[in-house]
Structure 1
Amino acid sequence: MKQYIAALMLACCVGVCGQEKKQVTFVPPFDFPLTLSGNFGEIRSNHFHGGLDFKTGGVIGKPVRALADGYISRIRVTNGSGYVLDVCYHNGYSTVNRHLSGFISPIAERVEKLQYENENWEVEIIPEPDEYPVKGGQQIAWSGNTGYSFGPHLHLDVFETESGDYIDPMPFFKSKIKDTRAPKADGIMFFPQPGKGVVDGKQQTQTILPNAESPVEAWGVIGTGIKAYDYMDGASNHYGVYSVVLTVDGNEVFRSTVDRFSQEENRMINSWTCGQYMKSFIEPGNTLRLLKASNGNRGLVTIDEERDYQFLYTLKDAFGNTSKYGFTVRGRKQPVEPLSHREKYFFAWDKTNYLQEPGLSLVVPKGMLYDDVPLNYQVKADSGAVAFTYQINDKPVSLHAGCEIRIGLRRRPVADTTKYYVARVTPKGRKYSVGGKYEDGYMKTSVRELGTYTVAVDTIPPEIIPVNKNHWGRNGKIVYRLKDEGAGIASYRGMIDGKYALFGRPNIVKSYWECKLDSKHMKKGGKHTVEFTVTDNCGNETVSRETFVW
């Protein structure tokens, strides 16, 4: 993504980056009233929601329009975002339109031709700037529900071309959207700092309801966080909050303004949030620009006087609708237990950390942690297991990027080393593959959280399940469901009457694979044989052969 944005910066919008951005106007992506199912910067798993989700009335196939004059700069079909169209505008901005149902001619034909040439559902085309020019208001695609999508909508990302930053598209469409509803808070969380603070006699995180009347007793260094959502007129959805300001005794200590972020900053959401709570302090390794602390202590508050401290949250949305939530922290001297940890198992945020144990090695380079982590390290031995299970930490800690882990094999029940994979183990004991390759008695892979890991074996081929086989001909499409309990599905390939057939995964939430029957690629009228081959990440393969009439 970063390389693509950098190339886009060189290729498009030359000479316009210095223009005043406030003068830019956009045509709405649709010609009907705009309502949103998601806004910019909402808290998602490991990332911010990068744009706006426009509702399309519960249907697919609405014409999607260009927002201004520019050109189509990238065309893709992907599993995650479905049909995707990128547009570079001459005004210094670029957009990505995701989850489309299809492209317009001649792009649609070009994409299908490439899919058959590459024999792959997922394709990418980067046209020359003069190939597909667009004018503001011109149709460029059809809205859809493809990729990782829970219902028909258009996801629109807006980038500032010069910097490559995701920016909040809301200012461009505020005049077309009605919003008179202020954000609402659902809870306040306290974060007593390890070895430095205590809240109500405890050093664990605690929650209270907003506007709680009873004071919370605390001593030492604490942080707070808030769980809150925004709401809009005419929609039952809830959204992310644009601005959060925390004051203590009338003095601002922290502010978040969710208006832009870079791809490099995306995973820092794991440092800023705890579940759906937004922290009102900044961990030392977190450089998210949308967070500002103004009290000289990263937004942390020192309770060192036996008196009442007045905390006040002010929440604001992009339309200026505002709500306030206050609560009292009563300073009361309480014992603060010093942080006890084993030096060997202490990871510092500002240096490279190594964990070397029998059968395990992990390297966490500087810049991968947002804060210090005293590891709760344990080894769980099972005499019959392929490898020990290594609990690096009892609570998963997100890393900023992948870090190399090596786990030694204690026994090899299967001679073929391609059948082994590194598995993340959940608190309930379920295993999920994180990949890996065998090397000198170890399985090596990259992990993005400090959690619990082991090595597992997968010799079981995937399962191929035909869906409504008797209706394939009548419905004009072949549909399969695939299951793999081990390393996960790596690839698939379909053939009809000995020729390549274009199977894809149009919506990965629904988890089915389909091929639409097309007389351009097979003769209609008669009996046909379909062969579908699926391979998992450990090389186990299943082949299904079925016949149907179409």
Structure 2
Amino acid sequence: MRRYITALMLACCIGGYGQEKKQATFVPPFDFPLTLSGNFGEIRSNHFHGGLDFKTGGVIGKPVLALADGYISRIRVTNGSGYVLDVCYHNGYSTINRHLSGFVSPIAERVEKLQYEEENWEVEIVPEPGEYPVKGGQQIAWSGNTGYSFGPHLHLDVFETESGDYIDPMPFFQSKIKDTRAPKADGILFFPQPGKGVVDGKQENKTILPNSERPVEAWGVIGLGIKAYDYMDGVSNHYGVYSVVLTVDGNEIFRSTVDRFSQEENRMINSWTYGQYMKSFIDPGNTLRLLKASNDHRGLVTIDEERDYQFLYTLKDAFGNTSNYRFTVRGRKQPIEPLNHREKYYFIWNKTNYLQEPGLSLVIPKGMLYDDVPLNYQMKADSGAVAFTYQLNDKTVPLHAACELRIGLRRKPVADTTKYYVARITPKGGKYSVGGKYEDGYMKAAIKELGTYTVAIDTIPPEIIPVNKNQWGRNGKIVYRLKDQGTGIASYRGTIDGKYALFGRPNMVKSYWECVLDPKHVKKGGKHTVEFTVTDGCGNETVARESFVW
């Protein structure tokens, strides 16, 4: 993704970038009043929400318009974002339009042709800059609900061409959207720093309600966090908060302004947030630019006087609507237990860290941790297991990028080593695959968080379930539901009467794969045979054959 964005920006520069981007204006993506279901920078799993989600009245098929003069720079069909169209504009900005239901002609025909040529639902086209020029207000696609989407909408990412940063598109459309509602806080969270701080007699996180009148007693070094959402007129959705400022005794301590970030910074959301709470201090390994500590202690606060400290949170949205939340922290001397940790299991954020145990090796390169981690490491043996279970830490610790984990096999009940995989054990004891490859007695996998891992076996092929088979001919659509208990669906291929059939997964939220019957590829008026082959992540395969009349 990052390589593509860099290439796109260079192409856009060649294609006419150079006008003063601050003067840039965009026409709206739709010709009807704009309302949002999501805003820029909302907290999502492992990433920021990169753009604006425009509502489309609960339906698909609304014309999506070009925002200015430019050209189409990339065309894709993907499982995650559905039908996707990228546009490079001459005013210094580029956009990605996601979750479309389809493209306009002649792009739609070109995409379908490529899908059949490559025998793949997922395809990508990078046209020459002059191939598909667009004018502001010109239709470029149809809105949809494809990919990982929970309802019909248009997701619009806007990039600054020069830097490649995701930027908040709101300023371009602010005059078209009504918002007089200020953000609201749901909770405030105290983070006594391990071995350095205490809150209400305990060295564990503590939550209070906003505007709580009872002082919180604390001593030593503490951090703060806030759970808050923004709201807009006429809709029930909630959104991310544009600006959070924390002051103590009238002095600014911390400020977040969610206006831009780079692809490289995206996973740093794991360092800034704690669940849905936004931390008002910065971990030492977090370089996220939208965070600013105004003191010399990364936004952490030292309570070292026996007096009342006056805290104030000021929340603001992109329209300037503002709310304030005040609370008191009472300095009271309390004993602070030093942090006890085993040196061998203490990871340091600005060094390369190694963990070598019987049957386990883990390498965490420098730059992968946001803060020091005292691991709560345990090894668990199960007499029937193919490998030990390794608890790297009891609480999940996100890593900035994938790191190599190797787990040794204690026994090999299955001779075929492709049937083994590294499994992450969830807090409730469930398993999910993180993949992996067998190598010299070990399973090697890339992990993105410190948690609990083991090795599991998957010899069970996927399940293929025809959906409303007796309606296929009438509906002109073949639909299957797929299930796999172990490593998940890795690949699939369909044929009708022995010829390739274009099956896709139009919506990732639903486990349906479908093929829309097309007389250009399937002769209408007769009995046909469909064959559908599905393979999971360990190479287990299932083939389903059905007959239907169309």
Q: How does 1:237-248 map to 2 (within 5 A)?
A: 237-248=237-248
Q: How does 1:150-549 map to 2 (within 5 A)?
A: 150-549=150-549
Displacement after TM superposition at 1:18 (Å) = 5.0
| CA distance in structure 1 between the partners assigned to 2:507 and 2:106 by the alignment | 24
| CA distance in structure 2 between the partners assigned to 1:186 and 1:339 by the alignment | 31
| CA distance in structure 2 between the partners assigned to 1:300 and 1:207 by the alignment | 17
Displacement after TM superposition at 1:488 (Å) = 1.0
Given that 2:20 and 2:92 are in contact with CA atoms closer than 8 Å, whether structure 1 keeps it comes out as no
Deviations 1:121-145 (A, max 9, x none): 0000000000000000000000000
Given that 2:15 and 2:90 are in contact with CA atoms closer than 8 Å, whether structure 1 keeps it comes out as no
| CA distance in structure 1 between the partners assigned to 2:536 and 2:18 by the alignment | 50
Secondary structure of 1:115's counterpart equals: helix
| CA distance in structure 1 between the partners assigned to 2:525 and 2:386 by the alignment | 53
| CA distance in structure 1 between the partners assigned to 2:390 and 2:17 by the alignment | 51
State the partner residue of 1:68: 68
| CA distance in structure 1 between the partners assigned to 2:18 and 2:368 by the alignment | 34
| CA distance in structure 2 between the partners assigned to 1:296 and 1:529 by the alignment | 71
Given that 1:13 and 1:91 are in contact with CA atoms closer than 8 Å, whether structure 2 keeps it comes out as no
Displacement after TM superposition at 1:449 (Å) = 0.1
- The code of the aligned residue for 2:416 comes to D
4+ residue segments displaced more than 6 Å = none
State the partner residue of 1:135: 135
Q: TM-score, normalised by structure 1?
A: 0.99
| CA distance in structure 1 between the partners assigned to 2:503 and 2:462 by the alignment | 17
Given that 1:463 and 1:482 are in contact with CA atoms closer than 8 Å, whether structure 2 keeps it comes out as yes
Displacement after TM superposition at 1:20 (Å) = 3.0
Deviations 1:399-442 (A, max 9, x none): 00000000000011100000000000011110000000000000
- The code of the aligned residue for 1:245 comes to V
Number of aligned positions between the proteins: 550
Percent of residue pairs bearing the same amino acid type: 89
| CA distance in structure 2 between the partners assigned to 1:394 and 1:4 by the alignment | 37
| CA distance in structure 2 between the partners assigned to 1:421 and 1:337 by the alignment | 41
Given that 1:13 and 1:89 are in contact with CA atoms closer than 8 Å, whether structure 2 keeps it comes out as no
| CA distance in structure 1 between the partners assigned to 2:177 and 2:32 by the alignment | 11
| CA distance in structure 1 between the partners assigned to 2:5 and 2:492 by the alignment | 30
Given that 1:461 and 1:541 are in contact with CA atoms closer than 8 Å, whether structure 2 keeps it comes out as yes
Deviations 1:215-271 (A, max 9, x none): 000000000000000000011000000000000000000000000000000000000
Q: TM-score, normalised by structure 2?
A: 0.99
Cα gap change, 1:302 to 1:16, in 2 (>3 Å): farther
| CA distance in structure 2 between the partners assigned to 1:46 and 1:9 by the alignment | 25
Displacement after TM superposition at 1:69 (Å) = 0.1
| CA distance in structure 1 between the partners assigned to 2:21 and 2:290 by the alignment | 19
Given that 1:243 and 1:256 are in contact with CA atoms closer than 8 Å, whether structure 2 keeps it comes out as yes
Given that 1:188 and 1:207 are in contact with CA atoms closer than 8 Å, whether structure 2 keeps it comes out as yes
Displacement after TM superposition at 1:19 (Å) = 3.7
| CA distance in structure 1 between the partners assigned to 2:214 and 2:174 by the alignment | 39
Displacement after TM superposition at 1:16 (Å) = 5.8
Given that 1:424 and 1:431 are in contact with CA atoms closer than 8 Å, whether structure 2 keeps it comes out as yes
State the partner residue of 2:112: 112
Secondary structure of 1:230's counterpart equals: strand
Cα gap change, 1:323 to 1:24, in 2 (>3 Å): same
| CA distance in structure 1 between the partners assigned to 2:476 and 2:17 by the alignment | 49
Given that 2:15 and 2:129 are in contact with CA atoms closer than 8 Å, whether structure 1 keeps it comes out as no
Deviations 1:321-350 (A, max 9, x none): 000000000000000000000000000000
Displacement after TM superposition at 1:388 (Å) = 0.4
- The code of the aligned residue for 1:70 comes to G
Displacement after TM superposition at 1:5 (Å) = 1.3
| CA distance in structure 2 between the partners assigned to 1:208 and 1:440 by the alignment | 52
State the partner residue of 1:98: 98
| CA distance in structure 1 between the partners assigned to 2:353 and 2:48 by the alignment | 27
| CA distance in structure 2 between the partners assigned to 1:19 and 1:133 by the alignment | 18
Secondary structure of 2:267's counterpart equals: helix
Given that 1:13 and 1:88 are in contact with CA atoms closer than 8 Å, whether structure 2 keeps it comes out as no
Displacement after TM superposition at 1:455 (Å) = 0.1
| CA distance in structure 2 between the partners assigned to 1:212 and 1:38 by the alignment | 29
| CA distance in structure 1 between the partners assigned to 2:165 and 2:484 by the alignment | 38
Given that 2:405 and 2:444 are in contact with CA atoms closer than 8 Å, whether structure 1 keeps it comes out as yes
| CA distance in structure 2 between the partners assigned to 1:387 and 1:408 by the alignment | 6
Secondary structure of 1:172's counterpart equals: helix
Deviations 1:276-319 (A, max 9, x none): 00000000000000000011100000000000000000000000
Deviations 1:50-83 (A, max 9, x none): 0000000000000000000000000000000000
Secondary structure of 1:12's counterpart equals: helix
Given that 2:195 and 2:336 are in contact with CA atoms closer than 8 Å, whether structure 1 keeps it comes out as yes
Deviations 1:100-129 (A, max 9, x none): 000000000000000000000000000000
Displacement after TM superposition at 1:17 (Å) = 4.9
State the partner residue of 1:89: 89
- The code of the aligned residue for 2:126 comes to I
| CA distance in structure 2 between the partners assigned to 1:110 and 1:20 by the alignment | 35
| CA distance in structure 1 between the partners assigned to 2:20 and 2:27 by the alignment | 18
State the partner residue of 1:3: 3
| CA distance in structure 2 between the partners assigned to 1:445 and 1:480 by the alignment | 31
Given that 2:197 and 2:336 are in contact with CA atoms closer than 8 Å, whether structure 1 keeps it comes out as yes
Given that 1:93 and 1:160 are in contact with CA atoms closer than 8 Å, whether structure 2 keeps it comes out as yes
Cα gap change, 1:164 to 1:193, in 2 (>3 Å): same
Given that 1:192 and 1:205 are in contact with CA atoms closer than 8 Å, whether structure 2 keeps it comes out as yes
State the partner residue of 1:23: 23
| CA distance in structure 1 between the partners assigned to 2:164 and 2:202 by the alignment | 44
| CA distance in structure 1 between the partners assigned to 2:14 and 2:384 by the alignment | 63
| CA distance in structure 1 between the partners assigned to 2:7 and 2:430 by the alignment | 42
State the partner residue of 2:45: 45
Given that 1:179 and 1:319 are in contact with CA atoms closer than 8 Å, whether structure 2 keeps it comes out as yes
- The code of the aligned residue for 1:168 comes to D
Root mean square deviation, CA, Å: 0.7
Displacement after TM superposition at 1:15 (Å) = 8.2
Secondary structure of 1:482's counterpart equals: strand
Deviations 1:148-200 (A, max 9, x none): 00000000000001100000000000000000000000000000000000000
Given that 1:388 and 1:410 are in contact with CA atoms closer than 8 Å, whether structure 2 keeps it comes out as yes
- The code of the aligned residue for 1:34 comes to L
